[in-house]
Amino acid sequence: MAASDRYDPSDSEPRWLKAWLDSGALDPDPSGPGDAYAIAIPPPNVTGALHMGHALNNTIQDVLIRSRRMAGDQVKWICGTDHAGIATQAIVEKDLAQKEGRSRHDLGREAFLERVWEWREEYGGTIIGQLQRLGATLDYGNERFTMDEGYANAVLRVFVDMYEKGYVYRDNYMVNWDTGLGSAISDLEVEDREVLDTLVEIAYPLSSGEGELVVATVRPETMLGDTAVAVNPDDERYGHLIGQTCVLPLVGRELPIIGDDYVDPEFGTGALKVTPAHDPNDFEMGKRHGLEAISVIGEDGAMTDAVPERYRGLPAAECQARVTEELRAAGVLRGEEPYTHTVPFSHRSGARVEPLISLQWFADMTQLAQPAIAAVEDGRVRFTPERWGDVYLAWMREIRPWCLSRQLWWGHQLPVWYRGDEIYVGVDGPEGDGWVRDEDVLDTWFSSGLWPFATLGWPEATPELERFYPNQVLSTARDIIFLWVARMVMMGLEYLGEVPFSEVYIHSVIQAPDGRRMSKSLGTGIDPVEVIDEHGADALRFGLLMMSSAQDVRFNHERVAQGRQLVTKLWNASRLVVERGGTPGPCPTPQKLADRWMASRLTAAIEESESLVREFDFSRQADLLYHLIFDEFADWYLELLKAGEATPQVAGPLLEQLLALAHPQLPFVTEECWHMLSGSDELMLTHASASPPASRDAEAEATIEGFQELVTSLRSYKSEHGLARRDRIEVRLEAGEGVWSPPDGLAGLVNAEMAEVGEGAHVVPASFGSILVLPPEIDMQAERARLDAAITAAEKELARAEKQLGNEQFVSRAPAELVEAERDKAARYTSELKTLRAQLAAAGGK
Partner RNA sequence: GGGCGGUUAGCUCAGCGGUAGAGCACCUGCCUUACAAGCAGGGGGCCGGCAGUUCAAAUCUGUCACCGCCCA
Contacts with RNA by CB under 7 A lie at: 1, 5-8, 187-188, 191-192, 342, 387, 391, 395, 400, 479, 482, 511, 513, 515, 517, 547, 549-554, 556, 558-559, 561-562, 564-565, 568-569, 572-573, 575-576, 579, 619-620, 623, 626, 630, 634-635, 638-639, 642, 712, 715-716, 719-720, 724-725, 797, 800, 807, 809-810, 813-815, 818, 825
| Shortest CB 139 distance to RNA, Å | 32
| Shortest CB 564 distance to RNA, Å | 5
Element (H, E) at 720: helix 698-720
Closest CA to 365 of 495, 490, 497, 499: 490
Round to whole Å and give the CA distance between 329 and 331.
5
| Shortest CB 821 distance to RNA, Å | 8
With 0-12 / 13-18 / 19 or more C-beta atoms within 10 angstroms meaning exposed / middle / buried, residue 732 is: middle
Nearer to RNA, 288 or 387 (CB): 387
| Shortest CB 726 distance to RNA, Å | 7
| Shortest CB 109 distance to RNA, Å | 32
> What Rg value do the Cα atoms of the chain yield, rounded?
36
For helices 528-535 and 52-70, the axis angle rounded to 10 degrees is: 60
Q: Hey, which residues does 191 pair with through a beta bridge?
A: 345
| Shortest CB 192 distance to RNA, Å | 6
Helix (H/G/I), strand (E/B), else coil: 817:
helix
Nearer to RNA, 165 or 796 (CB): 796
| Shortest CB 800 distance to RNA, Å | 5
Nearer to RNA, 115 or 825 (CB): 825
Closest CA to 443 of 496, 484, 486: 484
Nearer to RNA, 472 or 839 (CB): 839
Q: In Å, how far are 27, 72, 138, 666, 686 from 24, measured between CA atoms?
A: 6, 15, 11, 20, 10
Nearer to RNA, 158 or 752 (CB): 752
Nearer to RNA, 469 or 555 (CB): 555
Nearer to RNA, 679 or 844 (CB): 679
| Shortest CB 547 distance to RNA, Å | 6
| Shortest CB 138 distance to RNA, Å | 27
- Within 299-404, residue ranges assigned H as helices are 316-329, 366-377, 387-397
| Shortest CB 788 distance to RNA, Å | 13
| Shortest CB 573 distance to RNA, Å | 4
Nearer to RNA, 465 or 766 (CB): 766
Does the N-terminal peptide bond of residue 430 adopt cis geometry, omega within 30 degrees of 0? no
Closest CA to 778 of 727, 712, 724, 721: 721
Nearer to RNA, 244 or 548 (CB): 548
Nearer to RNA, 813 or 846 (CB): 813
Name every residue whose Cβ is closer than 8 Å to that of residue 557 and which is 6 or more positions away in sequence: 513, 543
Closest CA to 502 of 389, 610, 608, 619: 389
Backbone angles phi, psi at 464, to 5 degrees: -65, -45
Helix (H/G/I), strand (E/B), else coil: 1:
coil
Q: In Å, how far are 144, 652, 699, 702, 750 from 597, measured between CA atoms?
A: 49, 15, 9, 9, 20
Does the N-terminal peptide bond of residue 470 adopt cis geometry, omega within 30 degrees of 0? yes
Q: Where are the beta strands (DSSP E) in 598-681?
A: none
CA torsion angle for 147, 152, 154, 157 (degrees, to 10)? 140
Helix (H/G/I), strand (E/B), else coil: 286:
helix
Nearer to RNA, 223 or 625 (CB): 625
| Shortest CB 554 distance to RNA, Å | 3
| Shortest CB 623 distance to RNA, Å | 6
Helix (H/G/I), strand (E/B), else coil: 201:
strand
Convert 780-815 into a string of H (helix), E (strand) and C (coil). HHHHHHHHHHHHHHHHHHHHHHHHHHHCHHHHHHCC
| Shortest CB 190 distance to RNA, Å | 7
Q: In Å, how far are 710, 767, 806 from 831, measured between CA atoms?
A: 19, 11, 19
Q: In Å, how far are 48, 186, 302, 352, 412 from 347, measured between CA atoms?
A: 17, 10, 22, 9, 21
**Residue pair 604/690 in contact by the 8 Å Cβ criterion:** no
How are beta strands 382-384 and 501-507 bridged, if at all?
parallel
| Shortest CB 603 distance to RNA, Å | 21
Nearer to RNA, 71 or 814 (CB): 814
Round to whole Å and give the CA distance between 567 and 647.
24
Nearer to RNA, 191 or 336 (CB): 191
Nearer to RNA, 105 or 193 (CB): 193
Nearer to RNA, 28 or 648 (CB): 648
| Shortest CB 80 distance to RNA, Å | 25
Nearer to RNA, 21 or 550 (CB): 550
Name every residue whose Cβ is closer than 8 Å to that of residue 127 and which is 6 or more positions away in sequence: 44, 45, 46, 48, 49, 50, 54, 81
